[in-house]
Structure 1
Amino acid sequence: MTTQLLIPSRPDLLLEIQNILAQPDPEPADVVELIKRDVGLYTVLLAAVNSPLYRREFLIESAEHAVAILGMTRVANLVRVVALRSSVDPDGQWQSFWEVSTEIATLCQQLSVKLHCLLPDNAYTLGMMHNIGVPLMRARWPDYDTQLASLQRDNAVLIRRAELAAFDTNRFQAAGLLAKEWFMADELVDALQYQAHAQAALMGKAQVSDAVLQANALLLLAKDISQEYQNYWHFDSDDTLSPLVVRALKLLNYDQYDYLDLKEDLLQQLARSESAHH
C-alpha cells in the first residue's frame, strides 16, 4: 500500500517562508534572513538566479539581490524544491536524477511562457516533481530498478501498470501524495497523480480534467526535448514526432513546425549552457 512509502514532512524553513508570504504586506528582508540561515539553500538560490534561464548579464552575489530579481513567490518555490531534494535524497546518491529533473523543470518553465499555458513557476515545479515518486520507491524497495529495467521509460501507462502489479502502488500516486503532504496546489497534485491517465486521455482512451491534460501535455513536450538532448551531440536526431507529442501539440494549439523550430532553439540553449559549465 501507499502508506508503506516514507513521505518526508515539510521543513520548518518552508513553513516560515509561507507564513511570511501569507501576510498582507510581506517583507522581502524577512525572507532573505531565513535564507541566510541555511548555507545550502543560500548557495542553490544564487546558482539558480545566475543560471542561463534568467539570462543576466551580470553576476548576482547576494540573497537580497536574488530575491529582488526572482520575487518572493519564486523563491518560496525554489526553497520547496531544494528542501524536497534534501529530504528525499539526503546522501546525494542520485545526482543524475536531479540533473534531468532540473533540465525538464527549466524546459517546462520556458515552454509555458512560449505556449502561454500554465504559470511559469507552477510549470517549473511540475517538471521538477514529475518523477519524484521514483526515489521514494527506490528507498522503500531496493530491487525497484531491477524489476522495472525492461520497461519503456516514457510510457506512463505501462509504468503505472507494472508498478501496481509489483508494489501495489506507483510513482505517480507517490508524487501526488507527496505534493499533497507538502500542501501544494490541488491542480499540481492532480497533474502529478494522473500522469498515466493524462497520456491515455491524449490518445483518446481515458478522461481527465482539462487542467490535468494541459499540464501533462506541456510536460510531455519538455520530456521530448530533454530526451532529444541526450542524442544532441551524436547528430542522429530527426524531425519525427511521437504520436503523444503530436497529440500534445494539438491540444495546446501549437503548430508542429513551429515546435520543431522552438525545440531546436532550446536544444542549442541547453548545449550552450553545458559548454559554459565546462
Structure 2
Amino acid sequence: MQDSNSGTLSFGSLQIPPRPEVVTALMEEKTKEDPNFQRIAKLIAADVGLSAAMIKAVNSAAFGLDRKLASVPQALHLLGLKQVTSIATALVMRNLSGGKSTASLERFWDSAEKVALLCARIAKRLHGIAADEAYSYGLFHNCGIPLLLNHFPQYKEALIAANSSIEESFTACEEARVGTSHAAVGYFLTRSWNLPGDLCQAVLRHHETDVFELAKHGDHMLDFIAIGHLAEHVHHLSARNGEDTEWNKFEGAVLRHFGLSDEDYQDIVDGT
C-alpha cells in the first residue's frame, strides 16, 4: 500500500522507506543512451555522507583498483556508471532504516558493510556475479532487520532465537514471533525501489534451506544467495566465536553451487 501524500509504502503497519530521489535520478541517467556523467557526479557529491562512503567503498580491496580514488568523477571514470549506481544505491540504504539510530543499529550496519565488501571480494574470485552486484546484495539482503527492530519491541528476541535455531528456519522463527520476516520486508523494499529481479528474489529466499534444490540451475538468484552465505560465514569466523548455525544449513549447497572443493573453500577463507 502506498501513502498518496508521502510516497511511503506500508507493509501491514510497517512503513517502508520510499526510494530516495538521488537513486531515482541515478537510475534515470543509467537508462539514457547518452547519460550525463557530470550530473551524476554532482548528484552523489551533493550528499556529503554518500560521496564519502562511496570513495571509501571503491578504495577498499574488494574492488581491486590499482590506485586510490579521491573523487566521485574518478570513480565514474574507472568503475563506470553501472557499478557506481549499484554501489550508491546500496549505500543510501544505511540512512533509511527508519527510527532513531542506536548502538545496536550502528553495529548492524558496520557488520553489513563488512559482509558487503566480503561479497565483492569473493565475487572477484568466482564466476557468474559482478563485484558491484555482490556488494549491493551484501548490503540489501538483511535490510529488513533494522526496519523490524525499529517497529517491533520484541523483534530482538526473535533475532536471538533465529540465530541459534538448528531445526527451524531463520524466517520461521521470525514469523512465529512477529508475524513476518526480514526476508519478506527486504523483498518488499527492494521491489519498491525497482532493484533487479534476481536480487529481489534472493533477498526473499536466502533463508530457504531447499532453495538450491527447487530453483532452476543457472538461476542468477542462487549466485547471490550462495555468495551471501559464504561472506556471512567468513565474517562470522573473523568476528565472533561459537557455532554458525546458518552456515551449517547451507554449507554443502553453497560449495556445490560454486563447485568449490574443501581446499578452494579454505583458500577463500584465508584470502579474504
TM-score by length of 2: 0.84
The aligned counterpart of 2:126 is 115
SS in 2 for 1:249: helix
The runs of 5 or more residues in structure 1 that have no matched partner are: 267-278
CA displacement 1:4-37 (0-9 Å, x = unmatched): 2210001111111111111101132121121222
The aligned counterpart of 2:232 is 223
Does the aligned pair in 2 maintain the 1:157–1:196 contact within 8 Å? Answer: no
Within the candidate set 148, 168, 180, 1:169 is matched to 180
- Tell me how far apart the structure 2 counterparts of residues 156 and 19 of structure 1 sit (CA, whole Å): 45
Residues 1:132 and 1:113: Cα distance change in structure 2 (over 3 Å): same
User: In the comparison of the two structures, how many residue pairs are matched?
Assistant: 256
Residues 1:92 and 1:57: Cα distance change in structure 2 (over 3 Å): farther
The aligned counterpart of 1:96 is 107
SS in 1 for 2:194: coil
1:96 corresponds to which letter in structure 2?
R
The aligned counterpart of 2:41 is 32
Within the candidate set 243, 248, 252, 2:258 is matched to 252
CA displacement 1:176-235 (0-9 Å, x = unmatched): 1110010011111111101122x2344x5xx2344233321222111111111114xx8x
Counterparts of 1:143-182 in structure 2, within 5 Å, are 143-152=154-163, 158-182=169-193
SS in 1 for 2:84: helix
Residues 1:156 and 1:58: Cα distance change in structure 2 (over 3 Å): farther
SS in 2 for 1:40: helix
TM-score by length of 1: 0.83
2:47 corresponds to which letter in structure 1?
D
2:38 corresponds to which letter in structure 1?
A
- Tell me how far apart the structure 1 counterparts of residues 70 and 98 of structure 2 sit (CA, whole Å): 27
What RMSD, in angstroms, separates the aligned Cα atoms of the two structures? 2.5
SS in 1 for 2:268: helix
The aligned counterpart of 1:136 is 147
CA displacement 1:129-172 (0-9 Å, x = unmatched): 11111111111102210244233358695221122122221111
- Tell me how far apart the structure 1 counterparts of residues 43 and 226 of structure 2 sit (CA, whole Å): 36
Give yes or no for the alignment of 1:208 onto 2:215: yes
The runs of 5 or more residues in structure 2 that have no matched partner are: 1-9
Q: Which 4+ stretches in 1 moved above 6 angstroms?
A: none
Within the candidate set 163, 183, 186, 2:194 is matched to 183
1:174 CA displacement: 0.6
1:141 corresponds to which letter in structure 2?
F
- Tell me how far apart the structure 2 counterparts of residues 187 and 121 of structure 1 sit (CA, whole Å): 14
SS in 2 for 1:25: coil
CA displacement 1:220-258 (0-9 Å, x = unmatched): 111111111114xx8x99xxx846212211122121211
Does the aligned pair in 2 maintain the 1:28–1:67 contact within 8 Å? Answer: yes
1:118 corresponds to which letter in structure 2?
I
Residues 1:111 and 1:50: Cα distance change in structure 2 (over 3 Å): closer
